Amino acid sequence: LIPEFIGRIPVIATLNELTQEDLIKVLKEPKNAIIKQYQALFELDGMDLEFTDEALHEIARMAEEKGVGARGLRGIIENIMLPLQYELPAKNDIEKCIITKEFIEGKEDVTLELIKKTPLKK
């Protein structure tokens, strides 16, 4: 068959929706995964960023509930992380920021681990 002719035939493909496990893999596994991008961004400010497994499941559940799939994950995470991106860099005593399911649900504040200061010896 002639390629020009084949290009004119409409092709319809159906895709299965991603499961929560698939969405979590999209968040964590690719080389340029969203979670890795935010970890690198926070590392520039001298902080470690960690997402609990429950938090990742909650993000995936929200995406599944909204029906946005993998493309909508970035928007969900941006809404969660935006306030932290403005507040945390101003604080110099934070070593680690842990995102929990409760923080995503709005029930608790973000979990922060502070830098342990050792007293100066004279």
**Residue 89 pLDDT class (50, 70, 90 cuts):** confident
Q: Is the pLDDT of residue 3 over 90?
A: no
- Confidence (pTM): 0.79
pLDDT tens, 7-49?
777 777 777 888 999 999 999 999 999 999 999 999 998 899 9
Cα separation, 60 vs 54, whole angstroms: 10
Contact yes or no for 20/13 (Cβ under 8 A): no
